[in-house]
Structure 1
Amino acid sequence: MLNVEELGFNYKTRKVLEEIHFNLKPGEVLAILGPNGVGKSTLLRCINTIHPPATGTIFVDGEEVLSLEKHEVAKRIGYVPQRSEAGKLTAYDAILLGRKPHIGWNIKEKDHRIVESIIRKLELEELALRYINEMSGGELQRVAIARALVQEPKLLLFDEPTSSLDLKKQLEILRTVRHVVKDSKVSAVITMHDINLALRFADRYIFLKDGTIFAHGGHEVVVPETIEQVYGVSAIVGELNGFRIVVPNEE
């Protein structure tokens, strides 16, 4: 579903990303991990063509996205940034805007059905008619995720989607994302800080260090050596109630 080959990105004369290459199959969730400033968000923006890469190619479902028009990219990739702009729109209308790449001159009944289905899945019924400029950061984030889902993309990109949410909502959102990915056979790339949440909901992991991939794979790459090399923190990796967990080993 996603194939990134030798991707590089420079900010002016500074290299931010270099020789990034990985692929992702339908039905998989990939977590991008690493410390602040390592290029996690930049990588998502490159995949979504917001930042044109300096080098490399990006294929989504076999198509080179860098050669596509913006509205065609939006049909294939749903992107949820860390912060969404709030305006004088109801949540329903803001979510409906996610159908824009598919809508011609008129909004069809199908578009409304898709919006209403996602609103139910994310339990946003009580927010549907509220204005998004009156919402909390967490509520606004949930609306932004719903807007990406109604695009019916092949690939979903989430930039720290749980950063403004309480623990219950974090679990609910990631559970919903995983369900959509598995059920619809799409793929998702999620940047995260919480390694334990990543271990619970992702299938594969990329650890970025100094703008390049330090480790890439499944649970086998989430080991104390990786944590110490990437984050500079000693850690214990074990299991609790069937879940793999990372515990810092610092006094």
Structure 2
Amino acid sequence: MLEVNALSFETLQRPLIKNMSLNLKPGCIHGIIGPNGSGKTTLLKLLAGIWRPSSGQVLWHKQDLLALDRLSLSRTVSLVPQNTQIHFDFTVYDIVKMGIYPLGTLNNEDSTKRIRRALEQVDAWHLRDRYATFISNGERQRMYIARSLVTETPLLLLDEPTSNLDIRHQLEIWELLKKLATEGKLILIANHDLYTTERFCDEVIILNQGCCVRNGIYHEVVDTEILRSVFGVEESGGRGRQYSATPAEA
């Protein structure tokens, strides 16, 4: 169980996360949704230990996650970032291999098997010898997902992991994440797409202005009020779920 207790974070005296509390269970995909600037990326960075909270705590199976040393933390939680830019001439294989380091000494055969399996899971084994600076944003996104997979952490955080992917690879990544969740991982995904959130996430966390306004099963927490007040849209009918922007108030 991942417990977030009264978590707050501010920078330059501006609160970005406000007294947030959550209880998230393993074996599920938890989607984080909300408008731009609502705190999705900030929350993920706090849970990954990249930023330190101003107050509050994060417990993983009753253990203070943020009190772990860097090596233990990197064995427990991994983050796939939103920004996939890279400025060094490493190959895709080299980047994914970096995910092996927290595991300590592995023989070359075991390392190669892990790296190959992770790259094949995201359909990127054929990219292994390419320089990461010379592949597309979508290919880099899959590379970073593979780097997180190779560490095999029980807690996997992803910040808009399919934003640069074509439709086929989007669906493949979502199906992969569903499979990993059924194997017991706790997966937390920041996502802008309400359609895929509804389809693939077991529960959703709705953020607005640094606060968790609702948390639960999509159909129980996303309603007309939330669509209008948080996202500024409304359902417009037609085949499937369609949304239209609500008129701006005068």
Common fold: TM-score over 0.5: yes
* Contact residue 228 and residue 246 of structure 2 kept, 8 A: no
Partner residue in 2 for 1:74: 74
- Structure 1 residue matching 2:16: 3-state secondary structure: strand
Q: 1:155 to 1:237 in 2, by over 3 A?
A: farther
1:178 Cα offset (Å): 1.6
* Structure 1 letter corresponding to 2:215: H
1:126 Cα offset (Å): 1.2
- Aligned CA RMSD, in angstroms, stands at 1.9
* Structure 2 letter corresponding to 1:192: N
Alignment of 1:218 with 2:214, yes or no, is no
More moved, 112-121 vs 191-200: 112-121
Q: 1:79-110 CA deviation, whole Å, 9 max, x = no partner? A: 00011342212211211110111123x64432
Alignment of 1:24 with 2:24, yes or no, is yes
Alignment of 1:144 with 2:144, yes or no, is yes
Q: 1:186-234 CA deviation, whole Å, 9 max, x = no partner? A: 1111001111111111000111112101111002111111111111222
For 1:163 and 1:65, how far apart are their aligned partners in 2? Answer: 28
For 1:146 and 1:69, how far apart are their aligned partners in 2? Answer: 23
Partner residue in 1 for 2:204: 205
For 1:238 and 1:107, how far apart are their aligned partners in 2? Answer: 56
Alignment of 1:190 with 2:189, yes or no, is yes
1:34 Cα offset (Å): 0.5
Unaligned runs of 5+ in 2: none
1:237 Cα offset (Å): 8.1
1:41-190 equivalences under 5 Å are 41-86=41-86, 87-104=88-105, 107-183=107-183, 185-190=184-189
* Contact residue 27 and residue 186 of structure 2 kept, 8 A: yes
For 1:52 and 1:192, how far apart are their aligned partners in 2? Answer: 23
* Contact residue 232 and residue 245 of structure 2 kept, 8 A: no
Q: 1:238 to 1:97 in 2, by over 3 A?
A: farther
Unaligned runs of 5+ in 1: none
* Structure 1 letter corresponding to 2:197: A
Alignment of 1:247 with 2:243, yes or no, is yes
Partner residue in 2 for 1:34: 34
- Structure 2 residue matching 1:20: 3-state secondary structure: strand
* Structure 2 letter corresponding to 1:247: Y
1:239 Cα offset (Å): 8.5
For 2:15 and 2:237, how far apart are their aligned partners in 1? Answer: 32
More moved, 165-174 vs 154-163: 165-174
For 2:50 and 2:223, how far apart are their aligned partners in 1? Answer: 33
Normalising by structure 2, report the TM-score. Answer: 0.92
* Contact residue 96 and residue 115 of structure 1 kept, 8 A: yes
- Structure 2 residue matching 1:150: 3-state secondary structure: helix
Total equivalences in the alignment? 245
For 2:125 and 2:47, how far apart are their aligned partners in 1? Answer: 32
Q: 1:118-176 CA deviation, whole Å, 9 max, x = no partner? A: 12222212111111111100000000000001111010000111111122221111111
Partner residue in 1 for 2:12: 12
- Structure 2 residue matching 1:4: 3-state secondary structure: strand
Q: 1:153 to 1:238 in 2, by over 3 A?
A: farther
- Structure 2 residue matching 1:205: 3-state secondary structure: strand
1:62 Cα offset (Å): 3.1
* Contact residue 27 and residue 186 of structure 1 kept, 8 A: yes
Q: 1:126 to 1:56 in 2, by over 3 A?
A: same
1:249 Cα offset (Å): 6.4
